[in-house]
Amino acid sequence: MDITQLTDFTPQKTGLERAPLELLRYYEQQPPQTRIPCEAEDFLGLLAAVPTMRKVPGVAPLREDDPAVFTDLPVCPGQRAQKECRDHLAQVMGVTDRQTLVEFCNREICCQNHYIDFESFWEGRPLFDLGEMGDDKEREHFRLFRDFAAQFYPFLQRHGFLAWDISECVGYLRLALACELITREEYLGLGSHWITQAQTFESWAEYAVSLVSGQLYWNFIHGADQKQLREGEELFMNLVQGLLTDEKAWQTGRWFTPPQEKPFAIPAADIRPMLQNWEGPRGCFATDQVTVMNAGVGFCYREKPESGEYPDSGWRFFSGQESQEYVDDFRNTSAFDLNTIANYDPEILTILDAPYGSAFGRGQDGKFHPEPFEPQE
């Protein structure tokens, strides 16, 4: 979004944004990196390349001459080493099993959630009323963190601090696997979420810039002063620049793209929280004209859903260009969360409270206007 259209956008002027921005600009001037397909397990290792380089009690040290140094699964060589790693996870992170691992990642590694909250204020669609947030100190912290993050927005845009969260969370998954707190199947299952999130990045350079920026934000909210921030930035810039030029890491462009049934216009990682104060079922249906062709919603109606396990709101969305034959083919329609369709066309938010039996068409003014509708029996 153009920064001239933003609200509450008052970036701190620390100069910390210059190094990641210069890195991004450098790679934008290079020939596009060709993606080389790899396995999901290898891709998870590459996503966690930075935490892989940390020394962790009980985990076998890296062999830098190993061509699979970043993609091989980490190991704890023996029961004693395994206990050392488990004790480290328990004492430092409170992680003792799969459940506490997931809870830790959701609770602590959430810089992107902060960024999405800030972004909603900058873009004039706040997800909550700041006046209702805790006390004055809490609101002041929110503004302070928001303004620190704002300096990165002009070049991060919707990528935000996502790469930092991905890198750290996958890193913890790999440690839990090394000491057998989780199985390999659980590792791949939990990791699949982060693989999907990573698809928002077009290159490893974009991923690197998001990671460094997220690291700076993480350090800032945990009390780092300017000297510590600059030292941390220098360290991480060196790390990611090394990875970007290392054939064992990101230089070759290895990437795993999950198979998907349909090429939706908005990647899952780019879906933002748009639906506020909605208490009913969130399920709906939309045609591929809306979600694959990104043609916008031109017609929609709300019918009373049949009882069942699916949390159906009753809303059905169309571009208005579909033929009856197209609509009758179930392969051209998919189920979604209302929030997802609001990302494709925010104007639907103005009509979602309409009762069952309502229908709307889009006028030349871009707004929805009521139309006659006969609910199906």
Tokens of 361: 């068409």
Domain spans, the chain: 3-255, 268-370
Whole-number pLDDT of residue 279: 84
pLDDT given at position 292 = 97
Report pLDDT for 309.
61
Reported pTM = 0.85
**What single-letter amino acid sits at 330?**
F
| pLDDT recorded at residue 376 | 56
* Predicted local distance difference test score (pLDDT) of residue 269: 80
Q: Is 262 exposed, middle or buried (0-12, 13-18, 19+ CB in 10 A)?
A: exposed
What pLDDT does residue 260 have?
77
Would you state the pLDDT for residue 2?
84
Report the pLDDT value the prediction gives residue 375, as an integer from 0 to 100: 59
pLDDT, one tens digit for every residue, the chain (377 residues): 788 899 999 999 999 999 999 999 999 999 998 999 999 999 999 999 999 999 999 999 988 889 999 999 999 999 999 999 999 999 999 999 999 999 999 999 999 999 999 999 999 889 889 988 888 999 999 999 999 999 999 999 999 999 999 999 999 999 999 999 999 999 999 999 999 899 999 999 999 999 999 999 999 999 999 999 999 999 999 999 999 999 999 999 999 998 877 899 998 888 988 887 788 899 999 999 999 999 999 999 999 987 666 789 999 999 999 999 999 999 999 999 999 999 999 999 999 999 999 999 999 999 999 999 875 55
What pLDDT is attached to residue 308? 62
Secondary structure of the chain in the HEC alphabet?
CCHHHCCCCCCCCCCCCHHHHHHHHHHHCCCCCCCEECCHHHHHHHHCHHHHCCCCCCCCCCCCCCCCCCCCCCCCCCHHHHHHHHHHHHHHHCCCCHHHHHHHHHHHCCHHHHHHHHHHHHCCCCCCCHHHCCCHHHHHHHHHHHHHHHCCHHHHHHHCCHHHHHHHHHHHHHHHHHCCCCCHHHHHHHHHHHHHHHCCCCCHHHHHHHHHHHHHHHHHHCCCCHHHHHHHHHHHHHHHHHHHCCCCCCCCCEECCCCCCCCCCCCHHHCCCCCCCCCCCCEEEEEHHHHCCCCCCCEEEECCCCCCCCCEEEEEEECCCCCHHHHHCHHHEEEEEHHHHHHHCHHHHHCCCCCCCEEEEECCCCCEEECCCCCCC
